[in-house]
Amino acid sequence: MLSRVAERLYWSARYLERVENTARLVSVYDELLFDLPRDIEISWYNLIEINSGVEQFEQRYKVKDERNVVKFLLSDDINPGSMLSSLKAVRENIRTTRDVVPEEMWELINELDLYARQNIKQGINRSQRHVFLNTIIEGCQKIIGLLAGAMSRDCGWHFLIMGRYLERADMNTRIIDAAVSVMLQSKEEEDVRLGQVVWSKVLKSQSAHLDYRRTVRTSINGAKAVSFLLNDPCFPRSLSYCLEQIRDAATKLPRAGLISAQIKTLSEQHYPISSSEDIDADFHDYLNDLQLKVIEINHHITESWFNFRQGDAA
């Protein structure tokens, strides 16, 4: 397989996952703000911070309010990670790799892109936002379902898997980090009330609510929620699961030794969290560190299979 084709597949999967995650994130924030007591202050602007969008946001907007934040995340073309920008990127990548994905993929992504563009106002105004974001999430899942049911498990598939789970791992740590920041900023007397709402929403954003209940079997608290989202081996959005998927896909490709070893080391690390007190500034640093490690894996994938140097041995 051509390196360029592999790279485009990898990025199409990353962007598709980003579309879904962005929709999930905005959707869950919406709910979070509904459920919080009036006296607790949480800003939409957190979403910009966790998505590393501060600089670009400030170039464009003065007011850090809901409307501008949602606009930036969903529709802004100055933001390369916005939902519409990501959809466009999926479309462009698939356009040039149509011959290695199932035929219907191109039609489905066109449909989704068209729907998003025609109805983007519904996403920005609050009244119909939920329906809009749900349709987007369903559209993404339809494509993932098509791939699962119709795509050969050859090299192309492995690059899609790596792209999807790398993006998911990245978002997983960012969402946990966002919740940690909210908790660290809050006043001590609000901690308990706030914690319950925040952590249950975090689980919900990952569709992890029910799995958590079944697996952990206790009421929701920060320490348990975080441990579940980082370490559960079976839940398909946990960090641990994502890393295992990347490793598994990589080992089926040539020259995977380095990446496989790197992921193994990363998976074996466990940050000890036994109570809510452990969710502190150190943990925040640890999450930052995790994100850097994920970026490093991306870098290695790029080096091993995409950025090709003359004279590399076959």
Partner 1 sequence: MDSLSSQYQSQDFFDELIDPKGKPRAPAKQLLNYLNSLSEEELEKRRLTAEATIQEMGISFTVYTEEGNIDRAWPFDIVPRTIEAKDWKIAEAGLKQRLKALNLFIDDLYHDQNVINDGIIPAHIIKDSKNFRPECVGVSPAFGVWAHICGTDLVRDEDGEFYVLEDNLRVPSGVSYMLENRAITKRVLPELFENDDILPVGSYTAHLFDTLAALSPRDIENPEIVVLTPGIYNSAYFEHAFLAQQMGAELVEGSDLFVDEEDDCVYMKTINGPERVDVIYRRIDDLFLDPEAFDGESVLGVPGLMRAWRKGTVALANAPGAGVADDKVVYAYVPAIIRYYLDEEPILKNVETFLCEDPEQRAYVLENLDKLVVKPANESGGYGMLVGPHSTKKEQAMFAELIEENPRNYIAQPTLKLSTAPTLISKGTLEPRHLDLRPFILQGKDSYVTTGGLTRVAMKKGSLVVNSSQGGGSKDTWIVETKGQ
Which has the closest alpha carbon to 58: 44, 68, 43? Answer: 68
Question: Does the protein bind partner 1 through residue 272 (CB under 8 A)?
Answer: no
When binding is defined by CB under 8 A, the residue of 60, 67, 95, 299 that contacts partner 1 is 95
Query: For partner 1, which stretch binds (CB under 8 A), given 29-37, 58-66, 96-104, 216-224?
Result: 96-104
Looking at beta carbons only, is 158 or 201 nearer to partner 1? 158
Which region, left, alpha or beta, applies to residue 26 given φ > 0 means left and ψ of -120 to 50 means alpha?
alpha
Question: Does the protein bind partner 1 through residue 127 (CB under 8 A)?
Answer: no
Question: Does the protein bind partner 1 through residue 4 (CB under 8 A)?
Answer: yes
Q: What is the contact mask toward partner 1 in residues 144 to 183, using x (rule: CB under 8 A)?
A: -----------x----------------------------
Question: Does the protein bind partner 1 through residue 312 (CB under 8 A)?
Answer: yes
Dihedral of the alpha carbons of 61, 67, 73, 76, in degrees to the nearest 10: -60
3-state SS class at 83: helix
Could you tell me how far CA 143 lies from the centroid of its own chain? Answer: 16
Looking at beta carbons only, is 67 or 153 nearer to partner 1? 153
CB under 8 A, 24+ apart: contacts of 49-58: 49/178, 49/181, 50/174, 50/175, 50/177, 50/178, 50/181, 51/81, 51/174, 53/79, 53/81
Query: For partner 1, which stretch binds (CB under 8 A), given 98-106, 140-148, 221-229, 234-242?
Result: 98-106
Shortest separation between residue 38's beta carbon and partner 1, angstroms: 49
- Contact set for partner 1, span 231-260 (CB under 8 A): 253-254
Site residues, partner 1 (CB under 8 A) = 1-4, 6, 95-96, 98-99, 106, 155, 253-254, 305, 308, 310, 312-314
